[in-house]
């Protein structure tokens, strides 16, 4: 099985549940504490490619920074959004779990089991 990585926030119940599901399936993933070590723009681009999503698709709209930086503005340049997300990584939806060239957002946590089907 390919190595599995989880972009994890231990304070998030969904992230903790996704990690527990992996561990229940005898998987010890690489854990990236993305709030402590925010992904670079290149890493974000790679994650988005594996997710098949754009940067706007992984934004947590409930975070105060979403409104503070007017991230709902469709005219906002993506380069600016990447810069904001790198400086405020809690805007990234969590958890993101990666296996090979595939990734999934663990909301609900059971979504991560789709990566184990190979």
Tens digit of pLDDT for each residue in 4-63? 999 999 999 999 999 999 999 999 999 999 999 999 999 999 999 999 999 999 999 999
Q: What stretch of H or E contains 105?
A: strand 102-105
Q: Is the pLDDT of residue 118 over 80?
A: no
Location of structure tokens 């940067």 = 55
**Chain centroid to CA 76:** 21
Domain total of the chain: 1
Q: Is the pLDDT of residue 96 over 80?
A: yes
Q: Is the pLDDT of residue 1 over 70?
A: no
Whole-model pTM over 0.85: yes
Q: Which residues have a catalytic role annotated?
A: 12
CATH code (residue 28): 3.40.30.10
Domain that holds residue 17: 4-116
């Amino acid at each position: 099985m390919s190595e599995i990585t989880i972009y994890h926030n231990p304070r998030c119940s969904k992230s903790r549940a996704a990690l527990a599901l992996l561990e229940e399936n005898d998987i010890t993933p690489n854990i990236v504490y993305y709030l402590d070590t925010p992904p670079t723009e290149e890493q974000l681009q790679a994650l988005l490619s594996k997710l098949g999503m754009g940067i706007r698709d992984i934004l947590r709209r409930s975070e105060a920074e979403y409104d503070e930086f007017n991230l709902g503005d469709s005219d906002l340049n993506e380069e600016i959004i990447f810069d904001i997300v790198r400086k405020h990584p809690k805007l990234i939806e969590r958890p993101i779990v990666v296996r090979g060239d595939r990734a999934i957002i663990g909301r609900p946590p059971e979504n991560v089991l789709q990566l184990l089907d190979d």
